[in-house]
Amino acid sequence: MLRILFCRWAIASLIFLYSPLISQLTGELKIAFIRVSFPSGEFPGFTGNGSFLYDE
């Protein structure tokens, strides 16, 4: 499972790093980051602190 996650991360990183080489920016570049927070809970699928669970 860890190997699959590493491969996915590596592919996403390569796409992100090589995309500026094959594209041209013709205007303004705006980047937005969204950060969320929520109270801790006992719900399946997340830890309650924003970290998603990948293993079950």
Q: Rounded CA gap, 30 and 24, in Å?
A: 15
Measured between alpha carbons, how far is residue 48 from residues 35, 43, 51 in Å?
14, 8, 7
Highest mean pLDDT range out of 2-6, 25-29, 38-42?
2-6
Residue 46's CB: how many other CB atoms inside 10 A?
13
Does the pLDDT at position 48 exceed 70? no
In this predicted structure, the answer to whether residue 56 has a pLDDT above a threshold of 60 is no
Can you name the residues that pair with 52 across neighbouring β-strands?
46
Average pLDDT over residues 7-23: 75
**What's the predicted TM-score (pTM) here?**
0.34
Highest-scoring range by mean pLDDT, 25-29, 38-42, 49-53: 25-29
In angstroms, the Cα distances linking 6 to 12, 22, 39, 51 are 10, 24, 29, 17
